[in-house]
Amino acid sequence: MKIRSRLPLLLLCLALFSLPSFAQTPQNTNAADPLTNEVAALRKSLQTLNSRLQAISEELLAPDKKDDDNSVAKVKQVTTNLDLLTHAEERAEVLRKQLIELIEKETAYRSRSTQFDEDLRPENIERSMAGIGGTRTAEMRDTRRRVLENDRKGVENLLSVTTQSRMRLEEDVRQADLLVTKLRQRLFPLIDKEIDKINPPD
């Protein structure tokens, strides 16, 4: 039957076009631009893959290809799982990028909070007033302290919110990665099974 003669080529195409979706997570958490480029590349890969899957689907469902419903159903099952896997991987990468950005913000807020602690030390407040004379020096020191304390409180609030968001996003990333793993475990055996039917192992 025609569809069986096309199945090896089809599976090869599916395997080839699934490769861009398996891009690894960037190791440098400070490289925001490469992360943005990687997500854009993943989206482009997804668009290309969807176009290929649509073309394959139209070819398989053409009038002269409907004589083997069982084979068509199996191929559709593979393409459906591949499509789901691609979407899941893209979502996991986007979430991971957001997590990295949150971690960077959290680190920056924590650093600012530490700096405020240092600036609020009496000797540092006194040093910041050096060179400023007049009879209101004590009042100016108190004003300086209040300003620093208010700024520190604002940063600490931002740090708290960012930390909570980061913890939630870490769980989202974990769940997204788990879904990707499950989809891969479902898809790869299907492909292997069809390949074994065409080319039985020795």
- pLDDT on residue 11: 47
Q: Which residue from 33, 150, 25, 137 is spatially nearest to 90, judged by alpha carbons?
A: 25
**Residue 62 and residue 47: Cα distance in Å, rounded?**
23
Name the least confident of 23-27, 107-111, 190-194.
Answer: 23-27
Rg of the chain, C-alpha, whole Å: 29
User: Mean pLDDT, the chain, as a whole number?
Assistant: 75
**Whole-number percent of the chain with pLDDT over 90:** 36
pLDDT at 99 over 90: yes
For residue 54, give the H/E element and its range: helix 32-60
Domain residues for the domain of 69 are: 2-198
**Rounded to 5 degrees, what angle do the CA atoms 173, 177, 178 make?**
115
pLDDT tens digits, residue range 33-89?
A: 665 666 566 666 666 655 655 555 555 445 554 445 666 777 777 788 888 889 999
Would you state the pLDDT for residue 190?
Answer: 77
Return d(Cα 159, Cα 147) in angstroms, integer.
18
Record the tokens describing residue 75, joined without a space: 């191929």
Question: Does the pLDDT of residue 148 top 90, yes or no?
Answer: yes
**Global pTM exceeds 0.85:** no
| Rounded CA separation 80/152 (Å) | 52
Range from 13-17, 30-34, 112-116, 145-149 carrying the lowest mean pLDDT: 13-17
Q: Round to the nearest angstrom and report the end-to-end CA distance of the chain.
A: 24
CATH code: domain of residue 40: 1.10.287
Q: How many domains does the chain have?
A: 1
